[in-house]
Amino acid sequence: MAEEGRIIPDDRIDLRGVLCPINFVKTKLKLEMMDSGQILEVILDDGEPIRSVPRSVKEEGHKIIKVENVENAYRLLIKKA
């Protein structure tokens, strides 16, 4: 799953330009299609998306593994519960 300390996601979704709460809904639907323990990479805009989506994901019981700033957006790694 990881090579040289870098986590390789099982799936990814790019939600730049997608408004709240649609970005969370799309993240939730993608997670529902994945198996427990798999990693989802989500790309989000700054502002409300990066404040709201991680909080909502945690409320659903999933784990935020990493958040990093990349090219005027945020890369979020979520481990499915």
Tell me which CATH code domain 2-79 carries.
3.30.110.40
Spatial neighbors of 13 by CB under 8 A, at least 6 apart, are 26, 27, 30, 40, 41, 42, 43
Residue indicated by tokens 């990066």:
50
| pLDDT tens digits, one per residue of 5-17 | 788 999 999 999 9
Active-site residue flag, 20: yes
**pLDDT at position 3 over 90:** no
Determine which one of 10, 11, 16, 20 is catalytic.
20
Q: Residue 4: which pLDDT band, with cuts at 50, 70 and 90? A: low
Query: Domain limits of the chain?
Result: 2-79
| Model pLDDT, residue 14 | 98
| pLDDT tens digits, one per residue of 20-75 | 999 999 999 999 999 999 999 999 999 999 999 999 999 999 999 999 999 899 99
